[in-house]
Structure 1
Amino acid sequence: MATFITEECINCGACEAACPNGAIFAGGAKYELDGRTHAALSPHLYYIVPEKCTECVGHFGVEQCAALCPADCCIPDPKRPETEEQLFERARQLHPGREFASLNLMTSRFRNGK
């Protein structure tokens, strides 16, 4: 599941800098994907581009946006169920040339049972 930001967002921006994939943007900000610029997904609140979100799989054992969010508004999107394997493959595609460690407790929330 890609993570999304709920309406409870207080627009603090803590999540944006923490995202290892650059998937989080301020409300109204355009984003780039596959060499093309796209319209903002939210006009006022921070948002997460699902095609860039890996739930931090391959990077961290917990989702950094959720861990840092003071409003607890970064949550998994039940409309976008994805497996650990799918998310890890996306991380590899987003970061070509990077060597990823094997998935473990430190690099996948799935290994933590969360």
Structure 2
Amino acid sequence: MALLITDDCINCDMCPSECPNEAISMGAEIYQIDPSRCTECVGHYDEPSCVAVCPIECIEPDPAHKESLDALADKFAAMYA
């Protein structure tokens, strides 16, 4: 499933540069994750890099975009084909 940045985000600027899929950008008030580009770092790392660097742990699974590990791997393959 894609990830979601909650309203607890403090705009620390850590996550955008860590995202290998360039899925994180500034929204109206806080950073946001594009679910069409988020693979939870499947194909790149063992864990989501944005979650690893977030100092306040405000990045969580997005219940509106549930995807299996296989679906995330397929999305990665399609983006980098």
Shorter-chain TM-score bucket reads over 0.9
TM-score using structure 2 length: 0.95
Runs of 4+ in 1 over 3 A off after TM superposition: none
Percent identity between the two aligned chains: 43
Identify unmatched segments of 5+ residues in structure 2.
none
Q: How many equivalent pairs are there?
A: 81
In structure 2, the residue matched to 1:107 is: none
Deviations 1:41-67 (A, max 9, x none): xx1100000000001111111110001
Q: CA RMSD in A?
A: 0.8
Contact 1:4–1:77 (Cα < 8 Å) also in 2: yes
For 1:75, the aligned partner's letter is: E
TM-score using structure 1 length: 0.68
Max radius of gyration: which structure?
1
Counterpart-to-counterpart distance in 2, 1:91 and 1:13: 24
Identify unmatched segments of 5+ residues in structure 1.
28-42, 97-114
